[in-house]
């Protein structure tokens, strides 16, 4: 007998079922031109893994708290590391933290794996694999 009056699967005496997330949808994105894809002047909608890939990319390149259209949680703090003279080790550590903070708020994203951070002159290239409810997604930023 437990000290706590909890019974698995019950909340306030009623059975609790976890709701399934609806199919994730996003407007398609042209990564090369950094703008929405249009067909005959209309936005194209993508679903599932492809939609999450767009969310991930846009969340990482959007500066957190800069645009009022987004919630306070959306975006990343990666810009805080630019031009500050931090060591590469510190930057690598903070980039990992900022990416996790910006992406793991999305209930469709389960994990972030295989961080590869490469410095090329003053540019930081980021590659990672992201576990989602639809499977793994690879991103290069």
Q: Which domains does the chain have, with CATH numbers?
A: 10-140 (3.10.450)
Q: Quote the tokens at residue 113.
A: 């794996």
Write out the DSSP string of 48-85: HHHHHHHHHHHHHHSBTTT-TTS-TTSSB-GGGGTTS-
pLDDT of 125 above 60 = yes
- Whether 87 has a pLDDT exceeding 80, the answer reads yes
Contact status, residue 132 vs residue 49, Cβ threshold 8 Å: yes
Reduced to 3 states (helix: H, G, I; strand: E, B; else coil), residue 90 is: helix
Residue 84 bridge partners (DSSP): none
pLDDT-derived band of residue 25, with 50, 70 and 90 as boundaries? very high
- The confidence score (pLDDT) of residue 10 equals 54
Residue 66: partners with Cβ closer than 8 Å, 6 or more residues away: 75
């Amino acid at each position: 007998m437990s000290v706590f009056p909890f019974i698995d699967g019950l909340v306030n005496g009623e059975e609790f079922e976890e709701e399934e997330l609806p199919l994730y949808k996003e407007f398609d994105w042209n990564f090369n031109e950094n703008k929405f894809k249009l067909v005959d002047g209309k936005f194209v909608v993508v679903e599932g893994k492809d939609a999450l890939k767009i969310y991930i990319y846009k969340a990482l390149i959007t500066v957190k708290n800069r645009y009022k259209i987004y919630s306070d949680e959306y975006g990343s703090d990666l810009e805080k590391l630019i031009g500050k003279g931090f060591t590469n080790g510190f930057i690598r550590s903070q980039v990992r933290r900022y990416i996790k903070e910006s992406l793991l708020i999305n209930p469709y994203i389960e994990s972030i794996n295989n961080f590869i951070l490469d410095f090329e002159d003053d540019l930081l290239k980021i590659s990672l694999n992201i576990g989602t409810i639809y499977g793994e997604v690879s991103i290069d930023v």
